[in-house]
């Protein structure tokens, strides 16, 4: 550790000690411009990031102070969903007559009765053996309510493994950074730089750089002229969703859109139907067939493509769906209720646009 860096750390400790707790915890006055490089290139970016002004800023605003959306405890507690293994048998009663078989594919059922030790009863009335099913563990992820004047980007950690940050863009991961990623933790983006291989890096703290693919960045966009009221912007590159009231962003979260060969279509759409739950199936007879019972908080916007809660995975921030926009159950409920209060159309129904776009090129594999 260099003498210069030790001096910078001392400055940071002094600033932190003098900073009122309220100021440390609020975004009021947050302006990352002291961390911006004054010239192109990696060296100016590192110099700006290590400057005293930037260090003081990062110490004062270590992370975004945002309110999380409420947990949809009702839906998470009342529903019991089970992954069904391929070719699982369907029985009239526990230990009774075999009357059918679940087709191959990605299949989930809601249990009407799971009180017996070795059996569950699905909503269609038939019974399945416990050895043929696996209880789903839905995500408890919740998005973030944005302050009225939010305009500066921040990010959420996607990495699942817990890696050290690097001391500079393009550098090796280092314990000396004092920063280990924690999934779904928020970080400020104080600056960004590009290394010699063309990879984008974000400055998230003092000598703490993360590569772009380990986070999802939230950044506001301008309101299209033909859109107003309450509308949603889905960024397929970042795998994020931001809800807007006219030009003002009010809510942000991460999503899972369509996988390769099932890509979510870009364009401007309107929500044409809302259902508290709906069953979904597709690609019947194909290896990628799926059947999902009672998917919660469904908002259809592009034919049979919808925004909806997802109880079968906690892999938000990555593409996972057959074209729909997957949300955590809590986020889906928040958006379902919020969009329903939008400006009514001629028929008296809430009119909500969904803008699907990509701010970059998503790398498959």
C-beta of residue 222 within 8 angstroms of C-beta of residue 67: no
In terms of average pLDDT, the best of 100-109, 260-269, 339-348 is 260-269
Q: How far apart are CA 35 and CA 29, in angstroms?
A: 15
| pLDDT of 286 | 57
Average pLDDT of 339-360?
88
| pLDDT of 15 | 37
Q: At what angle do helices 52-60 and 3-18 cross, to 10 degrees?
A: 40
State the pLDDT confidence band at 344, using cuts at 50, 70 and 90. confident
- For 129, the 3-state DSSP assignment is strand
pLDDT tens track for 53-90? 999 999 999 999 899 999 999 999 888 889 898 789 99
| pLDDT of 31 | 92
Neighbours of 7 (CB within 10 A): 11
C-beta of residue 48 within 8 angstroms of C-beta of residue 191: yes
pLDDT tens track for 32-44? 999 999 999 999 9
Domain boundaries, the chain: 3-61+152-217, 80-135, 221-357
- Which CATH topology does 221-357 take? L,D-transpeptidase catalytic domain-like (2.40.440)
| pLDDT of 9 | 36
Lowest mean pLDDT among 21-30, 104-113, 227-236: 21-30
Which tokens belong to 228? 């107003």
Whole-prediction pTM: 0.87
Lowest mean pLDDT among 130-139, 171-180, 280-289: 280-289
Answer CATH for 80-135 from 2.40.10, 1.10.287, 2.30.30, 1.10.730: 2.30.30
Q: How far apart are CA 249 and CA 218, in angstroms?
A: 11
| pLDDT of 339 | 96
State the pLDDT confidence band at 16, using cuts at 50, 70 and 90. very low
DSSP E strands in 190-304: the ranges are: 191-194, 200-205, 208-211, 215-218, 230-235, 240-245, 248-254, 267-270, 273-282, 290-302
State the pLDDT confidence band at 107, using cuts at 50, 70 and 90. confident
Give Cα separations from 18 to 22, 81, 308, 309 (angstroms).
Answer: 12, 51, 46, 44
| pLDDT of 30 | 86
| pLDDT of 183 | 97
Phi-psi domain of 261 (left: phi exceeds 0; alpha: psi -120 through 50; beta: other): left
Q: Looking at the chain, how many residues does it have?
A: 365
| pLDDT of 303 | 96
State the pLDDT confidence band at 24, using cuts at 50, 70 and 90. very low
| pLDDT of 110 | 86
Nearest to 82 by CA among 133, 9, 151, 20: 133
pLDDT tens track for 219-252? 999 999 999 999 999 999 999 999 999 999 999 9
| pLDDT of 364 | 66
Which tokens belong to 325? 């926009």
Q: Kind and range of the H or E element at 192?
A: strand 191-194
């Amino acid at each position: 550790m260099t003498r210069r860096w030790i001096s910078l750390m001392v400055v940071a400790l002094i600033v932190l000690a003098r900073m009122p707790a309220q100021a440390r915890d609020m975004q009021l006055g947050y302006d990352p411009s002291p961390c911006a490089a004054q010239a192109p290139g990696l060296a100016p970016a590192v110099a700006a990031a290590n400057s005293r002004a930037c260090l003081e800023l990062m110490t004062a605003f270590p992370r975004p102070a945002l309110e999380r959306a409420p947990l949809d405890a009702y839906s998470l507690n009342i529903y019991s969903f089970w992954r069904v293994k391929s070719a699982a048998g369907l029985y009239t009663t526990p230990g009774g007559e075999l009357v059918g078989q679940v087709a191959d594919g990605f299949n989930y059922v809601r249990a009407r009765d799971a009180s017996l030790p070795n059996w569950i009863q699905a909503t269609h009335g038939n019974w399945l053996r416990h050895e043929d099913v696996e209880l789903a563990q839905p995500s408890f992820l919740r998005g973030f309510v944005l302050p009225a004047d939010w305009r500066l980007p921040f990010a959420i950690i996607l990495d699942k493994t817990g890696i050290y940050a690097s001391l500079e863009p393009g550098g090796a991961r280092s314990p000396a950074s004092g920063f280990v990623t924690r999934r779904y933790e928020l970080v400020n983006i104080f600056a960004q730089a590009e290394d010699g291989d063309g990879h984008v890096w974000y400055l998230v703290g003092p000598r703490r750089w993360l590569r772009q693919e380990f986070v999802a960045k939230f950044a506001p966009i301008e309101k299209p002229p033909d859109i107003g009221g309450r509308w949603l912007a889905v960024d397929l590159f970042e795998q994020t969703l931001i809800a807007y009231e006219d030009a003002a962003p009010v809510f942000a979260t991460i999503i899972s859109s369509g996988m390769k060969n099932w890509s979510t279509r870009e364009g401007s759409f309107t929500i044409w139907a809302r259902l508290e739950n709906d069953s979904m199936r597709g690609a019947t007879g194909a290896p990628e067939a799926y059947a999902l019972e009672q998917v919660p908080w469904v908002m259809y916007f592009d034919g049979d493509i919808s925004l909806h809660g997802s109880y079968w995975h906690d892999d938000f921030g990555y593409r996972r769906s057959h074209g729909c926009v997957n949300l955590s159950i809590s986020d889906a409920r928040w958006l379902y209720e919020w969009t329903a209060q939008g400006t009514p159309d001629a028929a008296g129904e809430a009119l909500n646009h969904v803008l699907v776009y990509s701010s970059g090129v998503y790398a498959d594999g």
